[in-house]
Amino acid sequence: MSGVSFTDANNGTAVGNNGTILRTTDGGTTWVSQTSGTTEQLWGVSFTDSDNGTAVGDDGTILRTIDGGTTWTSQTSGTTVYLSGVSFTDSDNGTAVGGDGTILRTTDSGTTWTSQNSGTTDFLADVNFTDSDNGTAVGEDGTILRTTDGGTTWTSQTSGTINSLYGVSFTDSDNGTAVGDDGTILRTIDGGATWTQQTSGTTNWLYGVSFTDSDNGTAAGGSGTILRTTNGGVSFVEEEEISDIPTDYNLSHNYPNPFNPSTKIRYSVPQSSSVVIKVFDILGNEIETLVNEEKPVGTYEITWYAEQLPSGVYFYQLRAGSFVETKKMVLLR
């Protein structure tokens, strides 16, 4: 699948090859196929509530639903360029982006789409609006465009990279993150006036990113890469499941230790448990939450990327049911 949009913990829609649209109402436990009415590749989707959504794809394809995807209606985009990203802030106001610097805008739920002047012919991969005025589009060769007037004017920003960018997420008009080639992650806290490169710890391409607030975000990319942060990208966590069935709760020593800039932490849960793993500094200040979710029986390994943290002693703690264990690790530059 190449695009996904959730409006709450339960209701989500994913789009992909050959006009595929899948819908879940139980947080992804089950997915039901919907009839899109097209065989075009769909690249992006945006829902503003459980009913109202728009999907975009090849050859200027735009599809609209007002009933949670029970029916999808084709809209006239006015272009044959493929569209790769779409962002709606409410049921009326939305923007789609794509090849050749294409930007389309609607203020009437997609009944009409108007072309906007992006000022570039670069491919634009994704777009994100936090309200009807403030939005950011990203694309090839590090392209970042910004608007504060609903797209009437778009201004180029300096990204500091020539790597292509495929995903962007803002939680308000100031705080945003963009991701792309070779594990690129860029962060801004001033609406894109300045972008700072963050260390992701991976060279896999990152295709999408989503932040729920200025601290908590997830990036996804090639080879099943999923990175999470709970401190605005100061550090990142990657997790994988190990094929091992444990009989006891266990928190292993991290390795390597000392480490620079990343280390692995392995833990086991012998029964389905609510698992919380946090990192603290030597003064007891919480640095990051590495895991905070229900985990089935299994053994898991976290890779913690701490490139932007200072040298020093840190502690990591596992809480699962009544089991609590804390271990020490050393970040050494």
Domain borders along the chain are: 3-230, 239-331
Owner of token pair 């990152």: 206
Q: How confident is the model at residue 327, as a pLDDT? A: 96
Q: pTM for the full model?
A: 0.86
Place of tokens 């550090």: 235
Please say if the pLDDT value at position 134 is more than 90: yes
Q: Does this chain's domain 3-230 share its CATH topology with 239-331?
A: no
pLDDT range class, residue 30, cuts 50, 70, 90: confident
Residue 266 banded pLDDT, cuts 50, 70, 90: very high
The proportion of the chain whose per-residue pLDDT surpasses 70, expressed as a percent, equals 100
- Residue 242 clears pLDDT 90, i.e. is over it: no
CA distance 16 to 188: 30
Domain 3-230 part of CATH 2.130.10.10: yes
Q: Is the pLDDT assigned to residue 29 strictly greater than 90? A: no
Please check whether residue 31 is in contact with residue 25, taking contact to mean a CB–CB distance below 8 angstroms.
Answer: no
Instruction: Give me the mean pLDDT over the 57-66 stretch.
Output: 97
Of 75, 76, 129, 120, nearest in space to 102 by CA = 120
56 Cβ contact list (under 8 Å, min separation 6): 42, 43, 44, 45, 62, 63, 77, 83, 84, 85, 86, 96, 98
**Mean pLDDT value of segment 29-35:** 92
Per DSSP bridges, beta strands 312-320 and 323-331 are antiparallel
Q: Which amino acid is at 249?
A: Y
Res. 240 pLDDT band, cuts 50 70 90: confident
Class of domain 239-331 as given by CATH: mainly beta
pLDDT surpassing 80 at residue 1: no
Least trusted range by pLDDT, from 37-51, 102-116, 207-221, 265-279: 207-221
- Residue-level pLDDT at 244: 82
Mean pLDDT of 253-257: 96
333 closest CA partner among 308, 316, 302, 315: 308
Pick 69 or 244 by higher pLDDT.
69
- In this prediction, residue 10 carries a pLDDT of 87
10 Å CB burial of residue 139 (0-12, 13-18, 19+) is: buried
